[in-house]
Every structure is written in structure tokens, then in C-alpha cells.
Amino acid sequence: MTSPMISEQTKARFDREVAKYPADQKQSAVMACLTIVQQEQGFVSAQSEQLVADYLGMAPIAVHEVTTFYNMYNQQAVGKYKLNVCTNLPCQLRDGAKALKHLEHKLGIAMGETTADGLFTLQQSECLGACADSPVMLVNDVTMCSFMSNEKLDQLIDGLKSAEAK
């Protein structure tokens, strides 16, 4: 039975994703369903994982494994701008960790934290597939930023802050 906590609108979106797969393989829609949850709520809570598990007939731990494997899924509320700096080995060799440190200093938060104004969440990420462009980062899971020198990082943060102030 579908959990009563799934709204009709959300259920309709889940149904559309599930319909893309054979009836006996609806678990294949798990990533799409988690994405829908995140779009609607900003993050995927343990309760939402349970709802998705119930809906798809999966073990909750299997859904949790998906949520925690892909770092584009937020497991808690994040700031308006989620900054994911790649610190995987190739980027480490080309200032990836330095870029993360610079952002920690500039934003006054540690990796994994969100600024008090709710604007920025700073995270590290695994390889973003652009090692030659290091330091690289992803903003809000979609906007790739390459060759992020300290100057470019400052421009990015200052630009976003001033856009918010308008």
C-alpha cells in the first residue's frame, strides 16, 4: 500500500518514473524518486527514504545505500548554494584541497557546514570527471566551475552574495 504521506502530486511523478521500467523492475526508479523528493523538499530525510522504499517495494537500507552513495543527494537541509569542491587525488595534486581551504576561510565555515545566513553549504566531492581543469567545483549539482584559483573563488562568492543582496 502506498504511504498516505506521499502527496498525490508526488505520487503522480513517481508513477511516471516507474512506468519507464518493466513492472517487475520498478526499483530501477529509485534514483529518480529520490531526485523528486529532493526537488520538492530540498533533501532526502530518513522518513522520505522509508516512503520511497515502501512505494518501490524495497528494503529501506537499499534506498539508504543509494542516498549515501551519490553525494548529489542531500541527507540534510543545505544552503541556497551548495558548493562541492573536488578533493579526489588528481585534484589534490593540483590545488583542490587548497581551494577547499580557501572557501572555508572565506565563508567562515568548515567543510560540511552551512553559513549562518543559509546561503552557502560547503562540501567536498569525489571526482567530477574534469581532473585536468582542477581545481574544480560543482555549484548546486549542475554548474561546473573549472580552474578555480583563489581569485575566481572570491569572484564567485562575492558575485553570489551581491546578487542576493539586490
Q: Cα(first)–Cα(last) distance of the chain, in Å?
A: 48
Window 23 to 62, contacts with ligand FES (CB under 6 A):
none
**Distance between CA atoms of 109 and 69, rounded to whole angstroms?**
24
Q: Nearest approach, Cβ of 138 to ligand FES (angstroms)?
A: 10
Least distance in angstroms from the C-beta of 150 to ligand FES: 17
Among 5, 19, 59, 127, which residue sits at the site for ligand FES (rule: CB under 6 A)? 127
Q: Whole-angstrom Cα distance, residue 60 to residue 50? A: 6
Distance of CA 49 to the CA centre of its chain: 15
By CB under 6 A, what part of segment 133-162 binds ligand FES? 134, 136
**Shortest Cβ 154–ligand FES spacing (Å):** 21
- Residue closer to ligand FES by CB (options 13, 98) is 98
Q: In what order do the strands lie in the sheet with 120-125?
A: 120-125, 81-86, 137-139, 143-145
Closest distance to ligand FES from the beta carbon of 96 (Å): 6
Cβ 122 to ligand FES shortest distance, Å = 16
Phi, psi of 121 (to 5 degrees): -115, 130
Instruction: Please give the backbone phi and psi of residue 74, each rounded to the nearest 5 degrees, phi first.
Output: -90, 130
* Segment near ligand FES (CB under 6 A); pick from 65-73, 84-92, 106-114, 154-162: 84-92
Q: Which is nearer to ligand FES, 51 or 145 (CB)?
A: 145
Asked if 130 interacts with ligand FES (CB under 6 A), we say yes
Tally of CA atoms within 13 A in the half-sphere of 88 that contains its CB? 15
User: With CB under 6 A as the contact rule, which of the stretches 8-16, 22-30, 89-97, 111-119 interacts with ligand FES?
Assistant: 89-97
The Cα 128–Cα 79 span in angstroms is 21
Can you say how many angstroms the Cα of residue 91 is from the centroid of all Cα atoms in its chain? Answer: 20
Residues that bind ligand FES (CB under 6 A): 86, 88, 90-91, 96, 127-131, 134, 136
